[in-house]
Amino acid sequence: MTADPETPLRADARRNRDQIIAAAREIFTRQGPDVPMEEIARAAGVGVGTLYRRFPDRDALIGAVARDNYTRVLNEARASTAEEPTAWEALVRFLRQTQELKLSVQLAMVSQVAASVLTGDGTIDEFRGALLAELDVVVHAAQAEGALRKDIDTGDVAMLFALLLRQVISPSEDAARLTADRCMALMLDGLRAQPGTPLPGRPLTSRDLDWHPEH
């Protein structure tokens, strides 16, 4: 309950909280969300007790890390649209700045545990909504520019890149990077306006990614 963002924390408590989130992001990214809580506490330089005072349980921590991360991603997305000359370029830049995204997506979509935690969390949903809204704009703008093919929509782009952003297990760091770059380029090529083959179904809108409608 103390983890409530409303209540402003004392300076040292604040610092602890941040260290924990930073450590958890680091470790979650590297090892997934199943690491012992004690390890996270150690990496953050605090005792487990402190960790649990800040975050009542593992789920709360995952939620906090994801929230923190979505914020970064959102900021990045906004910076991209604000600073790039064309929507297409904004889209590309945004997608290339994947470091932060990666974790979000991991947490949001790979781990079963994490996914269920996040789904029930209002703040997360909000961020998710904000992010999709942002993406909506860019996607439609890129289509208006004639850079992005017309038979797709935001949902397609989101899902396609969600795939791309998974942690790939590769023989080496180099191979991983090269792989990631080329895959992204191939995908972008698939998205580009010079049509290609008709796609099955109908464009996936950002609404299609909503979790709630039924169930």
CA distance 31 to 70: 19
31-39, 66-74, 80-88, 145-153 -> range binding DNA (CB under 7 A): 31-39
Q: Tell the residue number behind the tokens 């929230």, with chain if given.
A: 67
DSSP state, residue 201 = S
CB of 122 to a second copy, least distance (A): 11
Q: What is the largest CA-CA distance in the chain?
A: 59
CA distance 12 to 177: 38
62-70, 83-91, 93-101, 103-111 -> range binding a second copy (CB under 8 A): 103-111
Which x/- pattern, by CB under 8 A, does the window 178-207 give for a second copy? xx-xxx-xxxxxxxx-xxxxxxxx-xxxxx
Residue 145 near a second copy by CB under 8 A: no
Residue 16 near DNA by CB under 7 A: yes
Q: Tell the residue number behind the tokens 């990614």, with chain if given.
A: 209
List the one residue from 75, 86, 115, 146 that touches a second copy (CB under 8 A): 115
- In terms of CB distance, is 63 or 155 closer to a second copy? 155
Give the phi and the psi of residue 192 in degrees, each rounded to 5: -60, 160
Question: Quick one: residue 148, left, alpha or beta (phi over 0 = left, psi -120 to 50 = alpha)?
Answer: beta
Residue 5 near DNA by CB under 7 A: no
- In terms of CB distance, is 4 or 214 closer to a second copy? 214
Which x/- pattern, by CB under 8 A, does the window 152-181 give for a second copy? xxxxx-xxx-xxx-xxxx-xx--x--xx-x
> Please, what is the end-to-end C-alpha distance for the chain in angstroms?
28
